[in-house]
Structure 1
Amino acid sequence: MESYDKWLTIEELSSYLKMSRSKLYQMAQKGELPGSKIRTQWRFDRNRIDEWMETYSNAAIIESRKIRYK
């Protein structure tokens, strides 16, 4: 059984999503990415990130279909 941390650091999230840390910081600060800032450090709930990615992916597919079929 593979173990994983429920809470991800920005570095772990960057690796998990294969996105740059700077982009993730920007998104978190704008409220575009679900996360919690504890003093000076961000933490991200893996389950909420997975849900966010699912929603974001589905929204992108729907939007691309709208553009394609106009």
Structure 2
Amino acid sequence: MIEDRRPRLMTIDEAARYLRIHKSTVYRLSKGGRLPASKVGNKWRFRKDVIDQWLSENENNGLK
């Protein structure tokens, strides 16, 4: 079996579920540049590996 090595991309709904925060909070953090995200067309996309790294780096800072 061939393993897919592409980074895992999440939609805004998936990112909100993964982070266990409201979708509007994900939008706000993304628009403000506080949550690493990319826009593909008019849709936000989130790389799971980048989100995991961001969580590790910010685990003591909290979200405001």
Fold match (TM-score > 0.5): yes
The aligned length equals: 56
| Corresponding residue for residue 61 of structure 2 | 60
Pair member with larger Rg: 1
Question: Normalized against structure 2, the TM-score is what?
Answer: 0.81
Alignment identity in percent? 32
**3-state secondary structure, aligned to 2:61:** helix
Flag the structure with higher helix content: 1
Structure 2 counterpart of 1:60, which letter?
Answer: N
Distance 2:41 2:28 in 1: 17
| Corresponding residue for residue 9 of structure 2 | 7
Distance 1:49 1:17 in 2: 9
Distance 1:45 1:29 in 2: 16
Question: Normalized against structure 1, the TM-score is what?
Answer: 0.74
By relative contact order (CA 8 Å, sep 6+), the higher-ranking structure is 2
**3-state secondary structure, aligned to 2:58:** helix
| Corresponding residue for residue 29 of structure 1 | 31
| Displaced runs of 4 or more, over 6 A | none
